[in-house]
Structure 1
Amino acid sequence: MNVNTNELGLGLLRQPKQVLFGPGQRRQLPKIVREVATHLLITTDARMATTQEFIEIVEAVTAEGIRVSIYSDAEPDLPRENILAVVERFGDSGVDAVLGIGGGSCLDLAKVSAVVLPHRAEVRDYYGEFQVPRPGLPVITVPTTGGTGAEVTCIAVVFDGDRGMKIGVASPFLEPYAAVIDPELTLSCPPGLTAATGADALSHLVESFTDRAKNPDPEELRTKLYVGKNVLTDVFASHGLSLLATSLERVAADPGDLQARSDTMLAAFCAGMAINTAGTAAAHAIQSPIGALTHTAHGFGVGALLPYVMRFNLPQRVAVFAELGRILGVATADQSELDQAHLAIERIDAILAAIGTPTDLKALGLTPDQFDFVADQALLATRLTANNPRELDKAAILEILRRGYDADHSWWDET
């Protein structure tokens, strides 16, 4: 079979039991929590825990007669130590549901806590795909940024300091019970975080839409989280891309534009739904070691890489990038496919630049003497590299890094 064509006509989604979307919908949380909890653990970060919105949510849930415990020390890039602290503090407390509110790390902490707490597990036992043995506690996710898609994905990314790398816990048992997506919660999101998470959402959508179509057999469907680009992920990816085609620039121009915030959050949700089975690819695999070296935001890293990864993948994905150009509204069917594809990639470049994402790897602080290390580490992320539509080897990654460092936006060999 051709791995870049969905010859099976496969469609596969993994998704929460319920999703509530819209301004003000956080006010439905007490009723949702009451369905599953008598003692709720909330995972969040120190900033969010002091906000009026958070205090109101806690008070409303408590008013339903539900006991609430709070862990407010979640850190960016979810260090393993956060998970160990949750288990130590709440392992014997009788928690029967977990609510994560905040950015991706807060939500990932909720999802992982929900499986390690009842099983008294060490999170390292769950690294990889399909290693969680059975369902955990119900999880409710409440994102406050428009980008990671963690509110609907069945993966959590943990930074293991002893191993010096980020590792995924990937299992359908991490799928949330409910996701409550309220765009009003993003209105206070700082401009830098808005840009970084927006770039992350855009990269999710581009990578899932242009991913490899793997034509998995029944065993692969049973044991692999990422089974390739498919007809259902394309529905979400294409809609998300059509929204971000205008919303990200509108948010950057006017952070108080609630409609633009809503469109961006809906697009991020769509991206989460798409990557849940299609997965991310080269940009995410390469960013991880770059982020570890430069201590730069994940979203800025994937945003800086995306223009060069798209150009690398283009020869294997001309028709798909052409379709992307039409979705973004910059190409028409009467143009050649290659012209349409070029216009699509240039439009993604323009959106990233407009929202303030670094446009080259030098801006992240990466240096050429680090290229070898980054390439070697990126190749270890086989769960991601296997999704890339064009084969990745060390030479290819080194060339992506060189072009990204030099801000070289020329086209790769398209023959």
Structure 2
Amino acid sequence: MTATIGSPSHTANQLGLGLLRQPAMVLFGPGQRRQIARVVSEIAQRVLIVTDARMATSAEFGAVVETLVRQGVSVSVYDGTEPDLPRRNVVDIAERFGGDSIQAIVGIGGGSCMDLAKVASVVLTHGGDVRDYYGQFLVPGPGIPVITVPTTGGTGAEVTCISVVFDEDQGMKVGVASPHLEAYAAIIDPELTLTCPPGLTAASGADALSHLIESFTGRAKNPDADQLATTLYAGKNVLADVYARTGLGLLNTSLPAVAADPADLAARSDTLFGAYCAGMAINTAGTAGAHAIQSPIGNLTHTPHGFGISALLPYVMRYNLPARIPEFAEIGRILGVADPSDSEERQAQSAIERIETILETLGAPLDLRTLGLTPQDFDFVAKQAMLATRLTANNPRELTTGSVVAILERGYDGDRSWWQL
């Protein structure tokens, strides 16, 4: 299959810009969940813990609550978090805890739990409906301090200053994006991921890998001072790149190791560290085309976010490759698969092939047909994807409805030939 859609352009970080946003404190390592009570008790005597039903029944969760109580902290628990964070969960928390003078919020679980904790902080502090804060820089000020505790290795939500909410009435995911959503502290304990089911491990691992790729190969925007003050994603930058390089090196070996032995704590630790690096990278560089296209696919097929991303990555990477050959070639060297004697383009192609091998090892899908998407859906998906301007603006090669349809066609057919320009 040959395509001539769009012309590649290489945007460079001419300003040498570097930008990081991060929690005031990050604790990383096996067993660090035992620090939750100390961190909370230093700032609050009344805490709300946001989690889901599975985590709420675990021994580890019970131990966290017990330790908090022993520290004299009054604990309330919300365990109704649902996958893909529907708006109704935010409404539920506001109704149940709006008058409780909550002084800190702990979000413990997957990305939806941590995103809910962050956006609950906004609504409980500033009032109104979560819809009032859809968009960028619309949160008027700091909220209740949030401590994030991830139990899956992938979303990076523990360190990002965005919460993604599925608005049931609008039928789409919407972001609440503001530096005021940044967590007070992130406590990252790889032991909490040991019980993560294989399917969730695969989906979250694919998501983390995509974050690193999209941040490192994304568009460099060279923003001025006004743009930095009003736009969450500053584009590819030198500080985000540091985290992207580190995370790629970690996930290259840790994801296959976790797939082989889910009880391998060292591999789980490297995976969670890589996911943290990915969160740090996308927090200022942002995600791009794959994430824009996945959202409507997920809404249509009701498939996990990470699996939708995995099914799209081979084709989005190939579309973007002509505009990002040096970056993909460097990824190939980071992953140890690029032969220095090869051309830069071949080194770049080897990176994409290695990423696909990792996804296949995880058991993540590599085509859209597997998700249940049909050709009749392509036009709708493409039009919806183009509405995600916060994400499409980060893509290194311009996206149009036509180019998105071409990506979907290849993804449906499993066509992993190289784009010809």
Q: TM-score, normalised by structure 1?
A: 0.99
* Residue identity opposite 1:396 in structure 2: S
Find the partner of 2:240 among 220, 233, 243: 233
Aligned counterparts, 1:239-250, within 5 A: 239-250=246-257
Cα distance in 2 for residues equivalent to 1:349 and 1:58: 41
Distance 1:330 1:256, change over 3 A: same
Q: Is the 8 A contact 2:27 2:187 kept in 1?
A: yes
Q: Is the 8 A contact 1:3 1:214 kept in 2?
A: no
Q: What per-residue deviation string (whole Å, max 9, x for no partner) do you get for residues 373-400 of structure 1? A: 0000000000000000000001100000
Find the partner of 1:203 among 210, 232, 235: 210
In the other structure, the counterpart of 1:145 is 152
Q: CA deviation at 1:210?
A: 0.3
Q: CA deviation at 1:335?
A: 2.1
Q: Is the 8 A contact 2:10 2:324 kept in 1?
A: no
Q: CA deviation at 1:406?
A: 0.2
- Secondary structure (helix, strand or coil) at the match of 2:18 reads coil
In the other structure, the counterpart of 1:304 is 311
Cα distance in 1 for residues equivalent to 2:11 and 2:62: 49
- Secondary structure (helix, strand or coil) at the match of 1:108 reads helix
- Secondary structure (helix, strand or coil) at the match of 1:400 reads helix
Count of residues paired in the alignment: 413
In the other structure, the counterpart of 2:392 is 385
Q: CA deviation at 1:3?
A: 6.6
Cα distance in 2 for residues equivalent to 1:154 and 1:119: 17
Q: CA deviation at 1:336?
A: 1.1
In the other structure, the counterpart of 1:34 is 41
User: Where do 5+ consecutive residues of structure 1 fail to align?
Assistant: none
Cα distance in 1 for residues equivalent to 2:120 and 2:42: 19
Q: What per-residue deviation string (whole Å, max 9, x for no partner) do you get for residues 108-154 of structure 1? A: 00000111102122100000000000110000000000000000000
Please say if 1:400 is aligned against 2:407.
Answer: yes
Cα distance in 1 for residues equivalent to 2:370 and 2:11: 33
Find the partner of 1:292 among 293, 299, 309: 299
In the other structure, the counterpart of 2:344 is 337
* Residue identity opposite 1:192 in structure 2: G
Q: CA deviation at 1:320?
A: 0.6
Find the partner of 2:107 among 63, 85, 100: 100
Q: CA deviation at 1:179?
A: 0.2
In the other structure, the counterpart of 1:121 is 128
In the other structure, the counterpart of 1:84 is 91
In the other structure, the counterpart of 1:213 is 220
In the other structure, the counterpart of 2:6 is none
In the other structure, the counterpart of 1:273 is 280
- Secondary structure (helix, strand or coil) at the match of 2:284 reads coil
- Secondary structure (helix, strand or coil) at the match of 2:144 reads coil
In the other structure, the counterpart of 1:368 is 375
How well do the aligned residues superpose, as a CA RMSD in angstroms?
0.8
Percent identical residues: 68
Q: Is the 8 A contact 2:15 2:222 kept in 1?
A: yes
* Residue identity opposite 1:262 in structure 2: S
Cα distance in 1 for residues equivalent to 2:346 and 2:377: 35
Q: What per-residue deviation string (whole Å, max 9, x for no partner) do you get for residues 155-197 of structure 1? A: 0000000000000000000000000000000000000000000
Cα distance in 1 for residues equivalent to 2:342 and 2:26: 39
Cα distance in 1 for residues equivalent to 2:82 and 2:150: 15
Cα distance in 1 for residues equivalent to 2:416 and 2:264: 32
Cα distance in 2 for residues equivalent to 1:332 and 1:4: 25
Q: Is the 8 A contact 1:294 1:365 kept in 2?
A: yes
In the other structure, the counterpart of 1:321 is 328
Cα distance in 2 for residues equivalent to 1:59 and 1:332: 54
Q: CA deviation at 1:243?
A: 0.4
Cα distance in 2 for residues equivalent to 1:371 and 1:294: 12
Aligned counterparts, 1:6-17, within 5 A: 6-17=13-24
* Residue identity opposite 1:360 in structure 2: D
- Secondary structure (helix, strand or coil) at the match of 1:380 reads coil
User: Where do 5+ consecutive residues of structure 2 fail to align?
Assistant: 1-8
- Secondary structure (helix, strand or coil) at the match of 1:40 reads strand
Cα distance in 1 for residues equivalent to 2:244 and 2:311: 20
Find the partner of 1:61 among 48, 62, 68: 68
Q: TM-score, normalised by structure 2?
A: 0.97
